[in-house]
Structure 1
Amino acid sequence: MTWKFGGKWVRGEYMYRIDIKRYNRKWPPYKEPVGDCKSEYKFVLNSIFIHGGGWATADFGWDTLKKKAGLCIGSTPTLWKFWYYDSLDKDGMEWAASFNTPVFITSRCFDNDKVPNDSGGHVSGCGGTG
């Protein structure tokens, strides 16, 4: 979370500097990750919607959220979508993800906050019908 707004790193005689071009991020930065989760039962699958801020933001969720969800459910989540908001949404979130999982895994992977916690975030469980 500390590199979101740029910075510099000095290593010997070299200085590496990161300048951020976007100015529509939360200020001051999050003190801790935030998020929300909803699941919906759809007969043969569960549809999961998670949005958050301060975590899973560097790679469109691939190496964090999608990878950890796949490890927990035992397969890759299907219909994976991840998008960044142009500005914070009404709840102060930076991004959203939606995907499908097999049925009967929501309590094991999302209601107990396992996948979000393993991804560096926190959503306080996953509400909904799933």
Structure 2
Amino acid sequence: MYRAVTRQIEVSVEPFYLVDRSAPEERRYFWAYRVTIDNQSAEFVQLLSRYWHITDGTGRIEEVRGPGVVGEQPELNPGDSYQYTSGCPLSTPSGIMVGHYTMRNASGEMFNIDIPAFSLDLPDRSRTVN
């Protein structure tokens, strides 16, 4: 599990390789990742958008931006948690993802919270990011 805390909002990520969605002989590898956002702050926040920086095993970079996560823009009161699962295809057997969420609090202030860097590795290989 990978964790980052920004402004008392914890983001934890657990990646896992999906054998049934992957085809290594066709250079297609697929990971899912479960994200939990835990609002440990004393303020209401809403997730507005996401940014991902994805690097595959050859160093090729892809950037992904968009509104919300999995079609939602969750609202979290103090003490609330939100969890979702998404996925990432790669053409290499390993990679790294890192990013941030843009949040808004009740007073309208917008700020970014970190998504920790996490590695996408085949189950029989050692992790590349600690």
TM over 0.5: no
TM-score (norm 1): 0.41
Structure with the bigger percentage of helix: 1
Output the TM-score relative to the length of structure 2. 0.41
Q: As a proportion of its length, which structure holds more strand?
A: 2
Structure with the greater alpha carbon radius of gyration: 1
